[in-house]
Amino acid sequence: MANTLKSKILDILHKDCRISNEEIAKMIGSTTEEVAALIAELESDGVILGYGAKVNWDKAYGPDSVTAYIELRVTPMESLGFDRIAERIYQYPEVKSINLMSGSYDFGITIEGSNIREISSFISEHLATMNSVVGTATHFVLKRYKFDGVVCDLPENDDREVISL
Amino acid sequence: MSSSFNPESMINSVVSNMPPSGIRRFFDIAAEMKDCISLGVGEPDFVTPWHIRDKGIYSLEKGHTHYTSNSGLKELRIEISKYMERRFDLKYDPLTQSVVTVGGSEAIDLFLRAVLNPGDEVLVCEPSFVCYKPLVQLAGGVPIAIETKAENDFRLTPDELRTAITPKTRVLVLPYPNNPTGAIMTRADLEGIAEVLRNTNIMVLSDEIYAELTYTDERHVSIAELDGMYERTVIVSGFSKSYAMTGWRLGYALGHPSIIKAMTKVHQYAIMSAPTTAQYAAIEALRNGDADISAMREDYNYRRQVIVGGFNAIGLDCFEPKGAFYCFPCIKSSGMDSNTFCETLLHSKKLAVVPGNAFGESGEGFIRCSYAYSIKNINEALNRVEAFMREIRK
């Protein structure tokens, strides 16, 4: 899909999902109708899964929420492969992301909670006790600098001259 | 203080007669104005890609804080040659056919000083960047403007060139992709120019600083690629626009060994060598920067289509600029000249754009608008222009 209209639309929406179809059409030299149709396709194909603001939650509510990164080691059984295990884990709303990993552990899981106790009890009650889980290692996030391509600090002001030739 | 000493009388006559850049006053007003937004800047809004900055920093950590050879780091000149061959199918021997300079501007100055004798005429396509005429004069030459026309999309035509040539013509300055118009010259366009030049002794100074920023299916073509043009052409380029490295001040010139040798002589006395840190960063840019160029070009292209469509929708006719990051809409329908238009727009809507006549007489009736800005800024600027035009037309 490299450099097709679809890839351009994805690129633009990924940076700013509030941009209008009309605006996208102007940017890529297309029509509003064509952009709407392509976005509809991207949605129905499951390429675009949703639209959301990239929020710096620490700034919104102060340091009231805790994010943990959990390394999970499992022994997949014939009846319960990696996919089935992942499906069981991602049902919990506390789980923000889960990925199957290469290397020394199997799943990398991001969990959000309102305090450390909440997260520890989630792990001990729901994760560690799962049948195929053989071990967990939990890392708490101390400070977020950048996520999903966005730096958490406000961008520097434009330090160019007002006019230069 | 001795009263008989008059510093003003000490100024060289060429310098004191140089236009004092009447536009300076306008710039100062814009710079002081609060909440002013601008489409007036002639440099990328992107910051130099991190991997390039990192290599500059690393060179400092390693203690590379000395002069380089006059012509520039050999490693860098080798990379420049590789780049020219990779992107433009042009071969230059790194050791004898290139000199690394303090921005493209220094390369232009070196060339003119190296080749001009008093009274030699230099043809300068206008509208164009403001440095050519003054630098020609400082080098003892006589600048002759060729006014390119809106109806030709501001390209130089063979007829315009033929008419301007006299027995004293020594150099043609060919500034494409063009600042301020955004015009480009295709291979076919250049072929017509080459045809006129082939039986002359005229050299070409091809300022290709915007070569990486074109928005057509075909890549930029240098006149040096055309039959009979290689030996008489000096290409000036640099890192400022393609890699967003304006502040590093690094450019280069490529051409026949005799010309480059002469330019290097001037360079070694005036400058010694270009900034060392910048040269190390530039090596990284040429080795691993192709993807950065593509990404920035894509972004500029989005903005280009928004701004050109925007001006045309407002009724300020804007031909499609296929290079650089400027559009050059015609403002004649406002009934104002370029200076009045820009000053009135600045005062009433707090929007700074540059009057087209700052780039030569033939720019009168146009304004230069840079799209090296966020889409948000461009849209806000377009809204202000629209409101301004609505008030004028009432």
Domain ranges of chain A: 5-44, 57-143
Q: What is the mean pLDDT of residues A21-47?
A: 96
Between 1.10.10, 1.10.238, 2.60.98, 2.60.40, what CATH number should domain A5-44 receive? 1.10.10
**Angle (deg, nearest 10), helices B290-314 and B276-288:** 90
* Euclidean distance between CA atoms B321 and B184, whole angstroms: 8
**Whether B309 contacts chain A with CB within 8 A:** yes
Q: What value, to the nearest 5°, has the Cα angle with vertex B251 and ends B246 and B256?
A: 160
Cis bond leading into B329, ω under 30°? no
- Please check the confidence at residue B29 and state whether its pLDDT lies above 90: no
- Please check the confidence at residue B183 and state whether its pLDDT lies above 70: yes
Q: Mean pLDDT for chain B?
A: 96
Q: What would the pLDDT profile of B318-335 be if each residue is shown by its tens digit?
A: 999 999 999 999 999 999
Q: Which of B41, B357, B382 to mutate to test the interface with A (most CBs of A within 10 A)?
A: B41
- Please check the confidence at residue A158 and state whether its pLDDT lies above 90: no
Domain boundaries along the sequence of chain B: 8-47+292-393, 50-288
Q: What pLDDT, on the 0 to 100 scale, is given for residue A76?
A: 77
**Whether B46 contacts chain A with CB within 8 A:** no
- Please check the confidence at residue B206 and state whether its pLDDT lies above 90: yes
Q: What pLDDT, on the 0 to 100 scale, is given for residue B153?
A: 95
Q: What pLDDT, on the 0 to 100 scale, is given for residue A153?
A: 84
Q: What is the DSSP string of A77-137?
A: BTTB-HHHHHHHHHTSTTEEEEEE-SSS-SEEEEEEESSHHHHHHHIIIIITTSTTEEEEE
- Residue B277 or B20, more confident: B277
Q: What pLDDT, on the 0 to 100 scale, is given for residue A2?
A: 52
Residues within 8 A of A (CB atoms), B 188-247 only: none
Query: pLDDT confidence of B22, banded at 50, 70, 90?
Result: low
Q: In the CATH hierarchy, which fold is given to the domain comprising B50-288?
A: Aspartate Aminotransferase; domain 2 (3.40.640)
Q: What is the mean pLDDT of residues B50-60?
A: 98
Q: What is the mean pLDDT of residues A94-121?
A: 94
- Determine contact, residues B190/B158, Cβ cutoff 8 Å: no
Say yes or no for a CB contact (<8 Å) between A165 and B306: no
- Strands A150-151 and B351-352 turn out to be unpaired
Q: What pLDDT, on the 0 to 100 scale, is given for residue B383?
A: 97
**C-alpha distances in Å from residue A116, one per residue of A92, A148, B38:** 17, 24, 48
Q: What is the DSSP string of A11-77?
A: HHHHH-TT--HHHHHHHHT--HHHHHHHHHHHHHTTSS--------HHHHH-TT-EEEEEEEEE--B
Query: pLDDT confidence of A57, banded at 50, 70, 90?
Result: confident
Q: What pLDDT, on the 0 to 100 scale, is given for residue B292?
A: 97
Which of B348, B321, B339 lies closest to B214, judged by CA?
A: B321
Query: pLDDT confidence of A147, banded at 50, 70, 90?
Result: confident
- With a pLDDT cut of 90, the percent of chain B lying above it is 93
Q: How many CB atoms lie within 10 A of CB B54?
A: 13
- Of all residues in chain B, the one with the smallest CA distance to A27 is B302
Q: What is the mean pLDDT of residues B30-54?
A: 93
Q: Supply the CATH classification number for the domain A57-143.
A: 3.30.70.920
pTM for this predicted structure? 0.91
Q: What is the mean pLDDT of residues B263-274?
A: 97
- Determine contact, residues A96/A113, Cβ cutoff 8 Å: no
Query: At B127, is the secondary structure helix, strand, or coil?
Result: coil
**ipTM of this complex prediction, to 2 decimal places:** 0.80
Looking at beta carbons, which residues of chain A come within 8 Å of B41? 160-164
B275 sits in which H/E element:
none
Query: pLDDT confidence of B297, banded at 50, 70, 90?
Result: very high
**Whether B44 contacts chain A with CB within 8 A:** no
Q: What is the mean pLDDT of residues A67-77?
A: 91
Q: What is the arrangement of strands in the sheet containing A133-140, beginning at the earlier edge strand?
A: A95-100, A107-113, A66-74, A133-140
Q: What is the mean pLDDT of residues A104-116?
A: 93
Q: What pLDDT, on the 0 to 100 scale, is given for residue A59?
A: 82
Q: Which of B39, B129, B375, B379 to mutate to test the interface with A (most CBs of A within 10 A)?
A: B375
Is the fold of A5-44 the same as that of A57-143?
no
Query: pLDDT confidence of A157, banded at 50, 70, 90?
Result: confident
Query: pLDDT confidence of B24, banded at 50, 70, 90?
Result: confident
Paired with B172 in beta bridges are B123, B204
Query: At B203, is the secondary structure helix, strand, or coil?
Result: strand
Rounded to a whole number of angstroms, the distance between the first and last alpha carbons of chain B is 59
- Please check the confidence at residue B89 and state whether its pLDDT lies above 70: yes
Q: What would the pLDDT profile of B208-256 be if each residue is shown by its tens digit?
A: 999 999 999 999 999 999 999 999 999 999 999 999 999 999 999 999 9
- Residue A148 or B103, more confident: B103
Q: Which of B29, B50, B305 to mutate to test the interface with A (most CBs of A within 10 A)?
A: B305
* Euclidean distance between CA atoms B304 and B311, whole angstroms: 11
Paired with A111 in beta bridges are A68, A95
Q: What would the pLDDT profile of B344-386 be if each residue is shown by its tens digit?
A: 999 999 999 999 999 999 999 999 999 999 999 999 999 999 9
Q: What pLDDT, on the 0 to 100 scale, is given for residue B279?
A: 98
**Whether A160 contacts chain B with CB within 8 A:** yes
**Whether A36 contacts chain B with CB within 8 A:** no
Burial-class residue B71 by CB neighbours within 10 Å (0-12, 13-18, 19+).
buried
**One-letter identity of residue B133:** K
- Please check the confidence at residue B3 and state whether its pLDDT lies above 80: no
Query: pLDDT confidence of A3, banded at 50, 70, 90?
Result: low
- With a pLDDT cut of 70, the percent of chain B lying above it is 99
* Euclidean distance between CA atoms B1 and B388, whole angstroms: 52
Q: Which residues of B308-337 are buried (b: 16+ CB within 10 A; e: fewer)?
A: bbbbeebebebbebbbbbbbbbbbeebebe
Q: How many CB atoms lie within 10 A of CB B355?
A: 24
Query: pLDDT confidence of B59, banded at 50, 70, 90?
Result: very high
Query: At A73, is the secondary structure helix, strand, or coil?
Result: strand
Q: What pLDDT, on the 0 to 100 scale, is given for residue B203?
A: 98
Paired with B326 in beta bridges are B370
Say yes or no for a CB contact (<8 Å) between A163 and B30: yes
**Whether A29 contacts chain B with CB within 8 A:** yes
- Please check the confidence at residue B289 and state whether its pLDDT lies above 60: yes
**Whether B352 contacts chain A with CB within 8 A:** yes
Tokens found for residue B370: 């840079």
Say yes or no for a CB contact (<8 Å) between A27 and B41: no
In a 13 Å sphere around the CA of A45, the CA atoms on its Cβ side amount to 8
- Determine contact, residues B226/B239, Cβ cutoff 8 Å: no
Query: pLDDT confidence of B28, banded at 50, 70, 90?
Result: confident
**Whether B185 contacts chain A with CB within 8 A:** no
CATH fourth-level superfamily of B8-47+292-393: Aspartate Aminotransferase, domain 1 (3.90.1150.10)
- Residue B19 or B278, more confident: B278
